Amino acid sequence: MAITSFKTPLNPAAGPVSSNRAALSVVTTLFFMWGFVTVLNDVLVPHLKAIFDLNYARASLIQFAFFTAYFIFSIPAAKLIDWIGYKKTMVVGVVIMGLGALLFIPSASAASYPLFLAALMVLAGGITALQVAANPYVAVLGPPETASSRLNLAQAFNSLGTAIAPWLGGVIILSGTRENAAVVQQMSAAAHQAYRVHEASSVKLPYLVIGLALMALAVAISRFKLPPMPGAERHGKIAGESIWKHRQLVLGAIGIFVYVGAEVSIGSYLINYFSQANIGNISELSAAKYVSYYWGGAMIGRFIGSAILQKVRTGTVLGIAALVACLLVCTSILSLGHVAMWSIILVGLFNSVMFPSIFTLGIAELGPLTGDGSGLLIMAIVGGALIPLAQGRLADMIGLHHAFVLPAVCYLYIVFYAFRGSRPVPVRQPA
């Protein structure tokens, strides 16, 4: 059984199973798109780091701006579900994503790092609304006992996007010949700015295509008839109920915080990590292709995990995956060369089941509070802003190689949550 903690059915939409499968197929395209867009940040980090001559800490502001949007917009997105429902919230999210992608064009034209950060925040605001609506929608779109398996399957297509993005983004964005740093420093202020504009222009085409594709997708989703989920929606206050009374949800939010922080921290610095002489000693363009293996492992793992979770308890699968991920990160820290490279790449395979498993364990038994619970869990994705920033500062102090100790600690918390923290405690109802 995938999730034994779901005891009360969430009243999934009535209707034929084929209708739910069609809805799942449509929503899965959204998972693909936000995965693709999110992981393009891993290419933006080294690209903008070089253009604007940033240290690791300042370069990590890319992920900080992006993932801070989750903290800001998650609860408003959950309230939006209560107001207009899951489908319309998804459409709103895709439209905002499209606008954020299109804002990259003026940001590149001005070669302004603050404008890039603002565009990323708008883009992430749309993804936030999309995630708050789409993740619980998939979880309740069918039998509760297979919710984790179903969400892992949808997240597998999210990982397909994350696997393709570094390779394609690397070819388009990082393929240009960059001037030597010493030559750039000798340029006049006007020449330096012109150089930045030229280098930044490589992001215009990919984000223009993404923006237009998202707008077209928003129109398509708005015209598709998705089944409603009344059992997982809340309209008005529920006397005596609060999401903060659900232990598995609160601890699950911490689990999402450290998981996303660990995953993003690793992905953000892989290109720089593999470029180091004692690790991969390869170019940034070549390193970007290896980053695709990291995210591709997550895709493969989610397809495998979807099948395993049909038969094995979610907490058990999650705990084993987190423990192995921690050991692999430690192996990379303690080794050099190809061993260090491939051990950190393999972490992606075991990251695969973590987000869907933590999410479904966290929203177990929430019923009409599912939307609000989803908002809290998605808000915790802000870990992707704070933990990479902390790792960037750590890398500036002790070196990038040993700074990976921070993700290793994050995985240890997930081991605790999987085996103990995810057990629901009955909520006392007021007399």
Burial of 172 (0-12, 13-18, 19+ CB in 10 A): middle
pLDDT for 430: 46
Is the distance from CB of 221 to CB of 91 less than 8 angstroms?
yes
Q: Is pLDDT of 405 > 90?
A: yes
17-223+243-421 placed in CATH 1.20.1250.20? yes
Handedness of CA 392, 396, 401, 407 (dihedral sign): negative
Which of the residue ranges 8-17, 233-242, 308-317 has the most confident prediction, judged by mean pLDDT?
308-317
Q: Where are the alpha helices (DSSP H) in 174-313?
A: 181-185, 189-200, 204-223, 247-275, 284-308
Q: Which two tokens stand for residue 174?
A: 């990082």
pLDDT for 313: 87
Cα atoms in the Cβ-side hemisphere of radius 13 Å centred on 379: 18
pLDDT for 144: 67
> pLDDT digits over 151-168, tens only?
777 877 887 887 788 778
Instruction: Read off the pTM.
Output: 0.71
Distances (CA, A) of 334 to 299, 339, 344: 27, 9, 11
> pLDDT digits over 360-397, tens only?
888 776 666 777 787 888 889 888 888 988 998 899 89
Q: Is pLDDT of 120 > 60?
A: yes
Q: Is pLDDT of 6 > 50?
A: no
Instruction: At 365, give phi and psi (nearest 5°).
Output: 65, 15
